[in-house]
Amino acid sequence: MLEGFLFTLLVAPPVGAHSEEAAVSYRTYAPLTIDGKLEDWIRRLEGRDWNGRLAVAKGEVGERIRAVPIHLNALTSRVEAGTVSGPDDLSAVVYTLWDPERFYVVAMVTDDQVVSQHEGADIWQDDCLELWFDCRHDAVTRTLFLDDEYQRGLSPAGADRNRPLAWAWRNPRTAPVTAAMTVASAAIPGGYLVEASVPWSVLQGCQPTSGGMIGFNLSLVDKDGDQVWTHLTWSGQLHSDPSQFGHLHFLDAPIDLFESDVVESQPQQAPWDLPQQQE
């Protein structure tokens, strides 16, 4: 009996064991249009004058992504298969947003060769971004087969296939789930951009609320012309192991992250710059 108990301790991951990786996803109060562009992801913020010290002209507006980045590269992530010679060979910055109906993701991928040849369930054999979900975030198993665990794939358009594709693996109803996803892509200098939305309705067990959390992972697949296949994983040693997924925290949008906000402020003088009163 004792021997069997010790064996269980060695092979079964403890419930709740996860990677230390964590990311934040802000709520969006306006649905995003999935078109392979960044317009919906940008906030416009008028520069502030800090205590009269920074000279900022009125109307000078900067643009910033209104989401928190997740960096995928050979330094911040694990090269699970193949090799990555540097950030120009393979790297990505991934952003997420959410609302009560959908999960939104956009990735700006640096890839020196964009390969998109396969269709359907085989898109993982080409350049592809994979999304991994553990909705209950309970880390019960080392493989994805429970009803709250999912794998989604997004593949960009390329020279060999002129349209982006999405796919749903590890799901008994692949066709309707894939059809419910929306995906778009665009060529950008040095690589590609891929954008998608996934309805929560096809992610059973995932219903985000501000302050909530799910298990989440990202993996980036790279296929070069020499047919070498590389896999870059954000969290853990194995991309498909829910016990090694990171944490994705859902937060409400700070007031200056709404897409239409332009924040204006009047120049202010620091106290030490004010005229001194004569006693």
Of the CA atoms within 13 Å of residue 165, those in its CB half-sphere come to 21
> Which residue would you say has higher pLDDT here, 148 or 144?
148
Whether the per-residue pLDDT at 264 is higher than 60: the answer is no
Whether the per-residue pLDDT at 29 is higher than 50: the answer is yes
CA-nearest of 73, 23, 19 to 230 is 73
Whether the per-residue pLDDT at 130 is higher than 80: the answer is yes
Q: What was the pLDDT predicted at 257?
A: 56
CATH number of 21-36+68-253: 2.60.40.1190
Per-residue confidence band for 273, with pLDDT thresholds at 50, 70 and 90:
low
Q: What was the pLDDT predicted at 62?
A: 63
pLDDT in tens, 37-66: 999 998 766 555 444 444 555 555 567 888
| Residue 257: DSSP 8-state | G
The residues, ordered by sequence, that sit 6+ positions from 80 with a Cβ below 8 Å of its Cβ are 219, 231, 232, 233, 237, 238, 239
pLDDT in tens, 159-218: 889 999 998 887 667 788 888 999 999 999 999 999 999 999 988 888 899 999 998 999
CA distance linking residue 92 with residue 97, whole number of Å: 17
176: part of which helix (H) or strand (E)? helix 174-180
Q: What are phi and psi of 7, to 5 degrees?
A: -65, -40
Whether the per-residue pLDDT at 82 is higher than 90: the answer is no
Whether the per-residue pLDDT at 136 is higher than 90: the answer is no
Record the pTM: 0.79
CA distance linking residue 260 with residue 71, whole number of Å: 26
Q: What was the pLDDT predicted at 274?
A: 53
